[in-house]
Chain A
């Protein structure tokens, strides 16, 4: 496997009870790139995303077969520290979900859980994370205000800062802009473009134009299968599969 691949799946299958939600998915995610997963509702894209940090483990009656590797190590091997895995593979959700605490505490929470106690070090992490999330200039004078006082777009960037604070390698984003207005969406999209310099981003989106704008690679999923995955320009300009063509030209979905 080439060294620029950070996450790879091989013949990945997932069942919710008897529902075969992911069917033999094999894909590779390249480091320091943005990979978008698109497809109609219920095609398995969020399920696949949640496999990458084993968030599906929290759901009853889920069974997984096949292999997922992070830096060539199988994340399902016995003895895997799931907390450590989720530190390396952070996640941002559809709706902003800040803790009902101050802006500062939202960002400092993760590092504290992972053992950082030094106040100066926490201050540094908070500032750096907020800067990386393009939020610092907007909140630096009110770090002790409640995070709930921020706008929806700011709350989502705070959640991204919270994810960055524990030093992840991969950031999973599940429809991160679907609850935001177009201006807040544009800010998050610009941020995603900046983040890929230091992190690998995998984003699930319903919005094909967003996938086309922000991603380097795109995977199209349909009924639990990864139909096609390739460079975003190729997928949107001349996809190889007729299903992909029909979906992205709006003929179904």
Chain B
């Protein structure tokens, strides 16, 4: 029975990695749609929200089934707890992708202001953290998340920078208020996505070591 349990747990973990990459792809495509002002790509992201929700519900139920039937202990228990957190974080990341895609649909008819400030760069960094958090979870490894505190500090600094720059543009020209407000919101969503990557990293650390850490 233990072998069957571990096979099922491995399957749930593999499918959670698939879901996490699905959520990550929604965010990546939403940012690309924003940069290229591509409403069709944005529409494709919005259309994926039901699919990621279905994945979330199904994988959560798989975890509940493993808990109820396998009564997991030690690393098995920690892996399931971590998996539930990865599922929730991946769903949120996908949903932020959808929200950014909705913004694209609203503002893609006019040219960008100030080349969107640092949003593309910030998106690359945030998505890089998501990639590394997923890989750490997939490979039971702490190497990929070792620098997360410093990387998260960079993300926070970029969000603050975009906020100040946006305010400056809005004060100079009130006609930019709508677009700059959207940029500031996108920066906020990207920061939240990096926070979800940190949450995944914290849980991978717990899964691997049994110890709790907090990444600010």
Contact = CB atoms under 8 A, between A and B. Distances in A.
Interface of A: 208-209, 212, 236-239, 244-245, 248-251
Given A237-B78, A238-B209, A238-B211, A249 B2 contact: yes
Interface stretch (B50-58, B69-77, B157-165): B69-77
A245 B74 contact: yes
B73 A248 contact: yes
B149 interface: no
Contact of B75 (A208, A212, A245): A245
Interface string B1-42: 110011000000000000000000000000000000000000
B73 A251 contact: no
A249 B71 CA distance: 9
Contact of B2 (A212, A244, A250): A250
Contacts of B73: 208, 212, 236-237, 248-249
B74 A249 contact: yes
Contact of B78 (A209, A212, A238): A238
Please give me the 4 A-B residue pairs with the lowest Cβ-Cβ distance, nearest first: A238-B210, A250-B2, A248-B73, A249-B76
A152 B1 CA distance: 28
A236 B75 CA distance: 9
Nearest to A252: B2
A205 to B, nearest CB: 14
Given A239-B74, A251-B2, 18 more contacts: A208-B73, A236-B73, A236-B74, A237-B77, A237-B78, A238-B78, A238-B209, A238-B211, A244-B74, A245-B74, A248-B73, A249-B2, A249-B72, A249-B73, A249-B75, A250-B1, A250-B2, A250-B5
